[in-house]
Structure 1
Amino acid sequence: MNVEEVIEKLEKSLGDALLNYEIREYEMGIRRKRKLYEVWAEIDRSAFRKAVETIFSLDYPHLHLISGEDNGGDSIKMIYSFGVFYSNPWGEVSITLKFDLPKDSLILPTITDLMPGAETNEREIREMLGIEFEGLKNKRHLFLPDDWPEGKYPWRRDEYGVEDMIKHTHKSVREIRKKGEGNA
């Protein structure tokens, strides 16, 4: 399957929910030049799960990343990047899905039922941006301390007071270390 067929599958599956796309082509190698392809697709958020399932119908994907970007407006731009056909040398196609998630409805379905390895990424996005993943079983903090205040998200531009929370966390760590030294 080539990159054009990947686009055809996405178009057929998503219809008007595939808002736009771009195919990027890169040439690699010195003696034997090979081409690598990336698909950058902007989708309607309502088609997110269907888009991921379509990617899974092509090939079991490699998850490159899940990320989110808060540009300071009313939404967070979600970015999911997958690689398909990675077992075929020089045949991998990267597919990046982008969509806006309104800040007043920061809920997405988990993809851990399709790809258990996505749990780490979803937990990170949950604690740093405040996005809830329906169906995510493990919601413990991954990077932030357990006593991090609920409703405070360090990657959000509309977040205030994070510096004070970080100072509080560092102070707590110093206190724990002092108590540990006294017990030695």
Structure 2
Amino acid sequence: MDSKNYHEDLSHIRSMMERSSRFISLSGLSGVFAGLAALIGAGYVYFIFQREGIDYLDGDRNFFGPALVRELVLVGTVILLTAVLSGYIFTANKSKKKGQKIWDSTTKRLLLTFAVPLVTGGVFCLALLFHHLFVWVAPATLIFYGIALVSAERYTLTDIKYLGYCQIILGLISIFFLGWGLIFWTIGFGILHIVYGLIMHKKYK
């Protein structure tokens, strides 16, 4: 009996230590919503291609001019802001239900660890756009985003690193298929996010 209580106490202490060192209220639904936003954005981008007379799937005109790229960057920015806002809302609601603070020292460390590779990748992508190396943007965003997820795993759910690994691998594969960034971007930010979000929602609901 004493041995059983001893193990229960250890489990309780371990759980408290994990809660103090990890932000564990990330919502799986935020991943689903982010994925849906990415799919809607990809559909809109395809509409833009059709409007410009570009048959994207034909593969003959997968290299675009600066004006079109600027419009695509604007669409991507809107999708990013939508995903971030929805992620905050879903996560805040989950934290509130669990009686946990959404903003503490652990959250700050999480954001810092996540932001360093993400901001680095963002600056790198801006440099690619500046030099008109547009076809490299999609692989770069996937790779740096994946690195950011793997880095953030230290302060949140360990499962997030697997999403990061998938993003990195997908980004590396896309390097060998330059000009097809929309397809890989849709898979990475759309489909993978939805699959990951559904798994996490079922696992931690």
TM-score scaled by structure 1? 0.27
Q: Which has the higher helix share?
A: 2
TM-score scaled by structure 2? 0.25
Q: Which has the higher strand share?
A: 1
Greater relative contact order (Cα 8 A, min sep 6): structure 1 or 2?
2
